[in-house]
Amino acid sequence: MPGENEPKSLSNSENKKAVIMLSGGLDSITGLAYAKQQGYACYALSFDYGQRHNAELAAARNIARDYQVPEHKVIRLGLDSIGGSALTDEHIAVPKSPQQGIPVTYVPARNTIFLSFALGWAEVLDAHDVFIGVNAVDYSGYPDCRPAFIKAFQDMANLATKAGVEGHTISIHAPLITMSKAQIIARGLSLGVDYARTVSCYAADLQGRACGSCDACRLRQAGFLELGVPDPTRYQ
């Protein structure tokens, strides 16, 4: 399955386009750098979905500009209208310590919704590849970050699209899914990624400075610490 490992073979077509999910965080910039290194024309896709802050989106815009992507779309969604997550409902606090089970920072069906938009845009672009920076090793236990989900979505994508039924297979790539956070950072550094440009924090301030204590911050800190390289994150 392309989502479990790096793509084994890539198209030799001159029209090698890919839709890249770009949140503005550590994983997504690594996925973008990887896809670009593989020779794809990278069409970046971000979402303003009613999250607590827009610091990550500002980072995504800067990253898209830095990488000179042919196009960067920011899709507005109203996931805050259904709530159910600390990231979209201001009445649910972002936890500052680890939680048992799936944490309240899980956004219901988020990656299913995001990938659906990416799939639609891929069809419009005549692109056969979608990259998403999900990780199932150093992560918060979200069900839509697992290899089984990526495989199921890819299977669905090729049943539910004109491209798929006409034999133009669409692949969902999750090249980071089996890597630790330290391994992801190491891969990104080898590709020249500047992680100071990224925002991962669930509760960043207006300047994009991280809280240092949420789950995303803890995982990010641990990755830099394990790798033994300086953490360029700006903290509050």
Q: Express each pLDDT in 121-163 by its tens digit.
A: 999 999 999 999 999 998 889 999 999 999 999 999 999 999 9
37 pLDDT higher than 90: yes
76 pLDDT higher than 80: yes
74: three-class secondary structure by DSSP? strand
Model-wide pTM > 0.85: yes
Q: From residue 195, how far is each of 30, 99, 153, 185, 199 by CA, in Å?
A: 9, 27, 29, 8, 8
7 pLDDT higher than 80: no
Q: How many CA atoms lie within 13 A of 214 on its CB side?
A: 22
**Tokens representing 30?**
């690594």
8 pLDDT higher than 60: no
1 pLDDT higher than 50: no
pLDDT tens for 160-169 read: 999 999 999 9
What number does CATH give the domain 17-227? 3.40.50.620
The C-alpha atoms of residue 149 and residue 51 are separated, in whole angstroms, by 23
Candidates 110, 47, 111; CA nearest to 74 is 47
Instruction: Kindly give the interhelix angle for 26-37 and 181-190, rounded to the nearest 10 degrees.
Output: 40
In the prediction, which pLDDT does 15 show? 64
Using only C-alpha atoms, what is the Rg of the chain?
Answer: 17
First-to-last alpha carbon distance for the chain, in angstroms, is: 40
Q: Residue 20: in which H helix or E strand, if any?
A: strand 17-21
Domain ranges for the chain, please list them: 17-227
* Beta pairing partners, 43: 19, 71
The C-alpha atoms of residue 7 and residue 74 are separated, in whole angstroms, by 26
